[in-house]
A = this chain, B = another copy of it.
Amino acid sequence: MIILDRRQIEDLIYLPAAATAIRDAFCSTSRGEVNLPPVGHITFPQVSGDCHIKYGHMQGKPDFVIKIATGFPQNAETEGGTGNGMSLVLSATTGAVQAILHDEMVMTDMRTGLAGSIATQALARSDSRTVLIVGTGPQAMRQIESHAAVMGDHLNFEVWGRSASKAAQLADKLGGRFAVRSVSDLETAVRSADVIVTATGSTKPLFQSDWVSAGTHITAVGADAPGKQELDVNLVARADLRVVDLAAQCLDHGEMSHAAVQGLIAGQDVLELGQVLLQAATGRKSPGHITIADLTGIAAQDIAIADVVLKAYRAKGGRDV
């Protein structure tokens, strides 16, 4: 059995290689090659905490993965934020535990960052330069790292947060590696952005639909459980293209769910990211269109990133103990 901790895992993930694996995972999902049972969920209302259990098996893989991710917003702020957890890798032929990847959320953060950047690359205008990041937590950082790794060095990042000082801190922290600055006026930033990435734990819309200019792409990664919401339902309704990681999930508790409950969109109004990546469906059709990617997170991503970690571990001579 292999047991790895957060630091070991983070060192083993090379973003461009991991991006390929995550992209393949979305394609496999849309080809129907991944068994993805419903997500498990338990809440701890007294401390506003929760735990998700995502698990699944990709056809032909010798292993399956169970990913446990906790979110306890009341935790004291630490480097790793309020998330924690681990992934377990088990044999799909014997049930034996192959690996315990005690990542304390870093794998989830990285695969979510990569998914966001893959969706943006697939859907944003190809001349996009300015990426507005709404949020200042660990996921905001991962979105910047991933967008730069997947789309290139030409991007200019702007960071806005409810706390101006946290936005400034994040810009300072990443300023040496990327073109990033904090902004204080959200409306102005939304109006001028080519791409908007929302990465918050918000339960209500972060900005108004009418601030969003034609041609903008929005990637929303925060709504991973019932009750969470980052986008105005009018923006979801107004968008020319709505892309999701998994239709059943996004219509249940993603951004799409809020618009669907209000009757503004229906199930046939969303496309899966894998279909766009496979070119089985058309993505952006015009530079003036507004496009949205609603990513709630699927076990196929957790399977892919665990595979990346274990392959890298073994390639570096790591052994089972």
Q: Which residues of chain A have a CB within 8 Å of any CB of chain B?
A: 1, 3, 35, 37-38, 40-42, 44, 47, 49, 51, 53, 55-57, 64, 66, 68, 70-72, 75, 82-86, 88, 90, 92-97, 100, 102
Contact = CB atoms under 8 A, between A and B. Distances in A.
Contact of A75 (B70, B72, B75, B94): B94
Nearest to A100: B100
Contact of A83 (B57, B68, B72, B95): B95
A88 B68 contact: yes
A84 B97 contact: yes
Contacts of A47: 92-93
Cβ-closest 5 pairs across A and B = A70-B95, A84-B95, A72-B95, A40-B40, A37-B42
Contacts of A57: 42, 44
A56 B3 CA distance: 25
A44 B56 CA distance: 11
A84 B44 CA distance: 29
Which residue among A42, A44, A57 has the maximum number of chain B CB atoms within 10 Å of its CB? A42
Nearest to A57: B42
A97 B53 CA distance: 14
Contacts of A55: 40, 42, 51, 53
Contacts of A70: 90, 94-96
A92 B68 CA distance: 14
A56 B53 CA distance: 12
Nearest to A43: B35
A1 B102 CA distance: 11
B88 A86 contact: yes
7 contacts: A40-B55, A42-B55, A44-B64, A83-B95, A84-B90, A84-B95, A86-B88
Nearest to A64: B42
Nearest to A50: B95
A64 B35 CA distance: 27
B56 A40 contact: no
A49 B95 contact: yes
A66 B94 CA distance: 20
A71 B95 contact: yes
Contacts of A102: 1, 97
Contact of A40 (B37, B85, B86): B37
A84 B75 contact: no
A275 to B, nearest CB: 24
B95 A66 contact: no
B71 A53 contact: no
A84 B71 contact: no
Given A53-B66, A64-B51, A93 B42 contact: no
Contacts of A38: 40
Given A37-B42, A68-B88, 8 more contacts: A3-B3, A37-B41, A44-B64, A47-B92, A49-B93, A72-B93, A84-B94, A84-B96
A40 to B, nearest CB: 5
Contacts of A84: 90, 94-97
